[in-house]
Structure 1
Amino acid sequence: MSGPKIAPARLELGTSGAPARPQSWIGHHNVAPDWSAVPQQTVIEIVAKGCLEDPERPAIIIENGPVMARREFLDRCQRFAGYLSDKVKPGDRVVMMLDNRLEFMIALFGIIANRATMVSIAPSAMQYDAGHIVTDAAPTVAIVGKPQLPIIEAVRGNAPALAHIVVVDGEEPDGLAAYESAAEPLDFTTAQCQREDIVTVYYTSGTTGAPKGCMLHHGWWLRVIDVDLRLFRRGWQDRQLCCLPFYYADPAIQLLTSLASRGTLVAMRRFSVSRFWEVVTTYDATEILSIASIPALLMKGEPGPAERDHRIRLAIHAGLPKELHREMLERYGFHWHNQYGSTEGGVMSRVPDHLADKLVGTGTMGVEPPGVTIRLVDDDDKDVPAGEAGECLVGGPDLYAGYLNRPEVTAEANRGGWYHSGDVARRDERGLLYFVGRKKEIIRRSGENISAAEVEGVLRSHPQVIDAAVLPVPDELRGEEVKAYIQIKPGEAVTPEAVIDFCRANLAAFKIPRFIEFRATDFERTPSMRVHKQGLLKEKSDLRQGAFDRETGKIGT
């Protein structure tokens, strides 16, 4: 493998305009220098080095499935890469629509080694949403599971360049066996990848408009892995539990951090409250990565001995519910570190490990890792003082490479040389960040700003509530009112009045939902397991219909 051992200087966002960092702000302790955890220049170098140096150690363990050693994993990756070598050229895009099977990771690295780009599609996508991605990405190859083949065939007309469809079929891990044996392997140690190659495209589920393809290059992946390993050291004894779908970026990050630190990835087929702790104990996991509602859902499950009979020493979560934090620590016996990140920005802040005890239940997202800067600004991009809420502008090396086919959207998001996240946060006098909400999900009621995320957090802390989503309802008098969609635990009976009383004890009066609608089934969810709020908005033209109105005491018709 060729290339310099030290990362070259790179164009980065956030090189000007930020105020000086006050000396009173806290930071992360004992963090090794940049690129000390990942000196490699490409993702493929990490895969090759990690597999060749420790060939017999498991790379991936699939729940109720195969255990694959690094030697075999590298061999299969190289063989599938060889199959693709005459079917893609640098810059070509390959759409992948596949469930949590080991072949997903084999195909991913086979694509990257050929300097092509993996475009992720949720395996549950239907003709409309899959069709949008296929049309926008213009792939030359599609890799799909047999259940997803009819969808790709149905939208194939949208992609005239799509020349090859690879179908993953049969027993795992042999779903690609017919292709792996069709050509000479591509040796990963001599792969010609470049650090600027676009490795992956993930379509973001924005609050408005069609999803945009977020382009990530090798540098983005290397930076995320390097930061993660420097903030929390891992070794051969560590097993990271993946309970997320493979078509999201996090599982591949977990696999690469495992390969770079001699650890192992343990992957669930899909997240399940009833199976979660059984998987943790059966496969001896030591670390958890979770997002969205996962902690709240786990806390609704029945307690059992497996919750304390484990080797977990850390959980990292994006958007930790502060109302449950103390109870989670006491129930499970390990720290959950809140983290803030995005597809565009990677890891943007995390609770410092040395302050984990002191910050339990505060709701803070921590502070930026070394190399990352977050500014909080008003609508004119002017910095706001400590304690005031503002939009998060992110700067640092190796952020995303832009949005596919959307140069004008990219330019707008990066105006002034800073990535405009659309997230609103505040910062205290110590420099700790606190999430307020999405800029487009702030409800404006009678001149007061209400964070949908804050109200949702309170509702999720109700013992009978599984999950909740909060949306604005137009109102002639107050501008907007708060509506809460609430999913109740099966067999439980909760009245709207009881929910309102609970909110009164936990929220300012103006934040209490006026409209409440109960749901008997789970919400439609985005790829990141968040509630798909655009779907809720499309359910009815008048969101007051079928909802309890706190002011009238009746169900709207």
Structure 2
Amino acid sequence: MLNLSSFLEDSARRHPAKDAFIFQDTHLSYAQVNGAANQIANGLIANGIEPGDKIALSCLNVPYFPMVYFGILKAGGIVVPLSVLLKQDEVAYHLQDSDAKAYFCFLGAPGLPMLEEGHAGFVATDSCKDLYVITAKPTDPSPIPDLKTLGMLMNGQSPVAETVATSAEDTAVIIYTSGTTGQPKGAELTHSNLALNAIVSADLFKPTSEDTLLIVLPLFHIFAMTVMMNAGVYRATTNVLLPRFDAEVVLELMEKHKVTFFAGVPTMYWGLLNYQGDKVDIGGISDTLKMCLSGGASLPVKVLEDFEARFNVEILEGYGMSEGSPVVTFNQIESGRKPGSIGKPVWGVEVKIVDEDGKEVPNGEKGEIIYRGHNVTKGYYNKPEANVKTIRNGWLHSGDVGTKDEEGFFYVVDRTKDMIIRGGLNVYPREVEDVMMKHEAVSMVAVIGIPDDQYGEEVKACVVLKPGQEVSSEALREWTKERIAAYKYPRVVEFLTELPQSATGKILKKELRKM
């Protein structure tokens, strides 16, 4: 038997009174979170949930997320985490596609009508039988009449429960990923996938029960779920939750709670680096902060170097995918690190760079990143054709273009889908972005391909300038031209005040292509 919820149960036994999650002024101990998860599990079982049933969860970074997450697992169910930004048609698609039997939905926040969108999606789905509203307080009624609440589900249930026995290879979570084309697909991650990846993650940055993690990455995203929440619960850390990234708030929480570990995506490091306020003591934060982790997208070397200089802390950058639970490679303390690299394969995972025929290419040559190991999904839920295409002979084909150097460090060049083909020549946006980020006036840049009658695609750079800096599009174009191959430099340069981002902080290049 293996059930991921054993992480919570073990930490509750060893550190019952220790703060597990902090949200605003609320402090919840490991015993309290475990007890609440038991009540939720008992409530679900009393309402007819059986082992293997899928249960969707839309929730911001508040303590209800881990309570419901582990409660579903304790009941033998499968968690289907959903992005908090989904609209009603998208909610309906995910509920239908995953065969969800029940759905937990948080109220939302100003400008984020989660319950309205979630309820409309639920109503449009015949297969989903129950909607539980996660209210601000358990005793609060649902703002939509006649809907059950999480508080009602928990009411009268015992805080003691016997976790349903699940096997290591049973699905624990179905995590949706857009992939390269078509509708989102649900990657089935097993209890073994997620448990081993959380243990591997904890071994990477070595937190203890004396440490405090700040979790601002959304918990519905596999990076935050595994590398922060599950790894943190496994090591009995204190976890400070923040629903939305705001540089000043992040720094204030770091200072207030003496945060020792932080994980973010590149846009978050960029935001922290560019914070100009005077409400926090950067020196004090640096004294406490032990290490930062970066993933989700490639971190520009310039941002990494400047952040490390300002905060006097190392950033370990890694690479992963939803299908990889997610961690595949990481810069590791023991094996050293290289800025700009995604590091080396983590324990139990093999990685190769291959050509179109699946043959490994020489060091330094570009190819597709493929990997195999304990982290690889058992497949996409009800998508046999996608499984055949993505997982071949046990190797997961990532769709990412990468290289490996002589010392075994891997590098991501770009996503295959983001690659620009200009006049028959491949242009990798990451390469152009790295060059342009070195210009003194450039704060952030995203390079995309746009349709062109002559070349098929043309290179365009969307640029955010640093405050108080000026440069013309012509001057920036010429500056880049001098530092990169003639076919790669952007013929079009557009200045923006900000770049569109997803809920997880990734730059949305598809939105830039619509502009």
Is the shorter-chain TM-score for this pair beyond 0.5, marking a shared fold? yes
CA distance in 2, matches of 1:462, 1:115: 53
Instruction: Give the secondary-structure state (helix, strand or coil) at the position aligned to 1:43.
Output: coil
Q: Name which of 196, 221, 227 aligns with 1:248.
A: 221
Correspondence for 1:474: 451
Q: Name which of 138, 143, 152 aligns with 1:178.
A: 152
Instruction: Give the secondary-structure state (helix, strand or coil) at the position aligned to 1:344.
Output: helix
Quote how far apart the aligned CAs of 1:233 are. Answer: 2.1
Per-residue displacement from partner, 1:282-320 (whole Å, max 9, x unpaired)? 111101111242222222222756322121111111222
Q: Which amino acid aligns with 2:331?
A: V
Correspondence for 1:261: 235
Are positions 1:306 and 2:281 aligned together? yes
Normalised to the residue count of structure 2, the TM-score between the two structures is 0.90
Are positions 1:351 and 2:337 aligned together? no
Q: Which amino acid aligns with 2:51?
A: P
CA distance in 2, matches of 1:179, 1:460: 52
Normalised to the residue count of structure 1, the TM-score between the two structures is 0.83
Per-residue displacement from partner, 1:343-393 (whole Å, max 9, x unpaired)? 11121111121454x73x4x1111112211111111111111011011011
Contact 2:96 2:128 in 1 (8 A): no
CA distance in 2, matches of 1:198, 1:54: 28
Superposed counterparts of 1:275-286, under 5 Å: 275-286=249-260
Quote how far apart the aligned CAs of 1:494 are. Answer: 4.4
Correspondence for 1:71: 31
Quote how far apart the aligned CAs of 1:333 are. Answer: 0.4
| Greater CA drift, 243-252 or 485-494 | 485-494
Quote how far apart the aligned CAs of 1:465 are. Answer: 4.5
Q: Which stretches of structure 1, 4 residues or more, deviate above 6 A after TM superposition? A: 172-175
RMSD: 2.3
Q: Which amino acid aligns with 2:150?
A: L
Instruction: Give the secondary-structure state (helix, strand or coil) at the position aligned to 1:486.
Output: strand
Contact 1:238 1:287 in 2 (8 A): yes
CA distance in 2, matches of 1:111, 1:212: 21
Q: Which sections of structure 2, spanning at least 5 residues, go unmatched? A: 108-112, 141-148
Instruction: Give the secondary-structure state (helix, strand or coil) at the position aligned to 1:510.
Output: coil
Q: Residues 276 and 460 of structure 1: is their aligned pair in 2 closer, same or farther, counting only changes over 3 Å?
A: farther
Instruction: Give the secondary-structure state (helix, strand or coil) at the position aligned to 1:507.
Output: coil
Q: Which amino acid aligns with 1:257?
A: A
Q: Residues 91 and 491 of structure 1: is their aligned pair in 2 closer, same or farther, counting only changes over 3 Å?
A: farther
Q: Which amino acid aligns with 2:486?
A: A
CA distance in 2, matches of 1:127, 1:110: 25
Correspondence for 2:131: 165
CA distance in 1, matches of 2:52, 2:443: 43
Q: Residues 82 and 185 of structure 1: is their aligned pair in 2 closer, same or farther, counting only changes over 3 Å?
A: farther
Contact 1:425 1:437 in 2 (8 A): yes
CA distance in 1, matches of 2:28, 2:211: 16
Contact 2:349 2:375 in 1 (8 A): no
More RCO (CA 8 Å, sep 6+): 1
Correspondence for 2:172: 199
CA distance in 1, matches of 2:66, 2:353: 37
Quote how far apart the aligned CAs of 1:491 are. Answer: 6.9
Q: Which amino acid aligns with 2:114?
A: Q
Identity among equivalent pairs (%)? 26
Correspondence for 1:42: 3
Q: Which sections of structure 1, spanning at least 5 residues, go unmatched? A: 4-40, 541-557
CA distance in 2, matches of 1:101, 1:340: 26
Contact 1:293 1:529 in 2 (8 A): yes
Instruction: Give the secondary-structure state (helix, strand or coil) at the position aligned to 2:451.
Output: strand
Q: Name which of 334, 346, 362 aligns with 2:313.
A: 334
CA distance in 2, matches of 1:530, 1:149: 24
CA distance in 2, matches of 1:234, 1:149: 35
Correspondence for 1:118: 79
Superposed counterparts of 1:141-540, under 5 Å: 141-146=102-107, 147-171=113-137, 176-185=150-159, 187-188=161-162, 190-253=163-226, 254-302=228-276, 306-310=281-285, 311-318=288-295, 319-345=298-324, 346-354=326-334, 356=336, 359=338, 361=339, 363-460=340-437, 462=439, 464-488=441-465, 493-504=470-481, 506-523=483-500, 525-537=501-513, 539=514
Instruction: Give the secondary-structure state (helix, strand or coil) at the position aligned to 2:100.
Output: coil
